[in-house]
Structure 1
Amino acid sequence: MSSSAPASSGTTVSATTGRPMRADARRNYELLVEAAKAVLVENDGDAPLEDIARRAGVGIGTLYRHFPKRLDLLEAVYREEVDALAHSKDQLAADVSPWEGLDRWLHLLVGYVATKRVLFQELVDAIGKESELLTHSRAVMMDSTAAMLKAAQDAGVARADVRPDDLVRIVGGCTMMPHVAPDQQERMVQIVLDGVRI
């Protein structure tokens, strides 16, 4: 486990002490997670920790204080992505129309799966495909897609014969291939949406 983890209240706590982190430590933790996500995606999962620390604007010692092992950092990036995905689904469901929610959701899902692709195999090798982290990720992705699709179908703006796993697999196919530019991913998702809308 990483040396820092988000508490249920949204406060980041140190896993070693169980106490909330100081504001500067929490900021460094968040900067490192964001930097790791960007550097890992840019380098297809192959990124020295020194590059991540540099992108975050902190020293390598700060990185190791928060994440003693590379796996700790990968788990933190993956978990942060899952939590952000679940939060985004709730926001979209509350704030926009069912079709706009599904549209935005699938575009968010592309970004999530792109990050997942570069981390997935390394995490599977280290913690197993059926680990809590990875099974939770699959559940969030499928349940959230089902909720957004059902809202659009109930509103009469999405085909009734489309299933959540259809969308997840198609989005996965748009993103899991190596060397696909982000603009091409966006175009492919838009083609999928055009086929779903009625």
Structure 2
Amino acid sequence: MDKPVLRADARRNRAKVLAAAEEAFAVNGLAVPLDEIARIAGVGAGTVYRHFPSKEALFQAVVLDRLEQFAKEARGLLTAEDPGEAFFGFFTRVVQQVSRDRALCDALAETTGLGFKTNAGNDFRSATQALLTRAQAAGAVREDIDGDDLRALIAGCLAAERYSLEERHLVRVVIDGLRTSHPSCTLRNKT
């Protein structure tokens, strides 16, 4: 069944609510009340409830919107001149952006890096897998890493970013370990 088409003002209000929710969830996690999100968005509480019947539904919409943005970015990088640097840059941006967002970080880490069974989650997994495969074909990323490993590494890096005292040091260590040119990299076949 197709979604009903929203009027222009309803689309704008929905977008305002999503932006306000993303901002509020990033700072306060899921503890932020829906009334506060409505206030930040500059709309009434009824508008929030009309679009999102619960805080959980709103949070899921925020996460799915972010996944769609990441998938779009990854697909755009599939034609980059340097597949390795496109992959490593994308990996770093995902970790940096998500680690600054408390609620999104929790959601993605809890699901081992994007376990949402949705079109957005599938698109993200597919786009990152294609980016990884292209970087591996170019010889930039070790061949014994697959999409499941990549999602686990993203989840691990999110935890490292959150709890590390030295900003981005551990993410650099992971990226160095993924590179085929790193001296400690020994390729092995997965069984």
Q: TM-score, normalised on structure 2? A: 0.72
Please tell me the residue identity of whatever aligns with 2:176: D
Comparing 154-163 and 112-121, the one that deviates more? 112-121
The SS at the match of 2:29 is coil
Aligned: 1:166 with 2:149 = yes
CA contact (8 A) 2:20 2:40 kept: yes
Matches of 1:43 and 1:78, distance apart in 2: 15
Q: For the structure 1 residues 182 and 82, does the alpha-carbon distance in structure 2 shift closer, same or farther, using more than 3 Å as the test?
A: farther
Report the equivalent of 1:135.
117
CA contact (8 A) 1:45 1:119 kept: no
CA contact (8 A) 1:106 1:189 kept: no
Aligned: 1:49 with 2:57 = no
The SS at the match of 1:45 is helix
1:106: Cα distance to partner? Answer: 0.9
The SS at the match of 1:151 is helix
- C-alpha root-mean-square deviation of aligned residues, in Å? 3.2
**1:16-55 map, 5 Å:** 18-22=4-8, 24-55=9-40
Q: For the structure 1 residues 168 and 99, does the alpha-carbon distance in structure 2 shift closer, same or farther, using more than 3 Å as the test?
A: same
Structure 1 spans left out of the alignment, 5+ residues: 1-6, 8-14, 125-132
Report the equivalent of 2:170.
188
**2:48 paired residue among 36, 45, 63:** 63
CA contact (8 A) 1:85 1:112 kept: no
Matches of 2:30 and 2:106, distance apart in 1: 5
1:183: Cα distance to partner? Answer: 7.6
Q: For the structure 1 residues 70 and 81, does the alpha-carbon distance in structure 2 shift closer, same or farther, using more than 3 Å as the test?
A: same
The SS at the match of 1:134 is coil
Size of the aligned set, in residue pairs, is 172
Aligned: 1:75 with 2:75 = no
Q: TM-score, normalised on structure 1? A: 0.70
**1:82-121 map, 5 Å:** 82-110=67-95, 111-112=97-98, 115-119=103-107
Q: For the structure 1 residues 33 and 183, does the alpha-carbon distance in structure 2 shift closer, same or farther, using more than 3 Å as the test?
A: farther
Q: For the structure 1 residues 71 and 58, does the alpha-carbon distance in structure 2 shift closer, same or farther, using more than 3 Å as the test?
A: same
* Percent sequence identity over aligned pairs: 30
Comparing 60-69 and 24-33, the one that deviates more? 60-69
Q: For the structure 1 residues 44 and 20, does the alpha-carbon distance in structure 2 shift closer, same or farther, using more than 3 Å as the test?
A: closer
Report the equivalent of 2:185.
none
The SS at the match of 1:162 is coil
Structure 2 spans left out of the alignment, 5+ residues: 182-191
1:176: Cα distance to partner? Answer: 4.1
CA contact (8 A) 2:125 2:147 kept: yes
Report the equivalent of 1:128.
none
Please tell me the residue identity of whatever aligns with 1:107: T
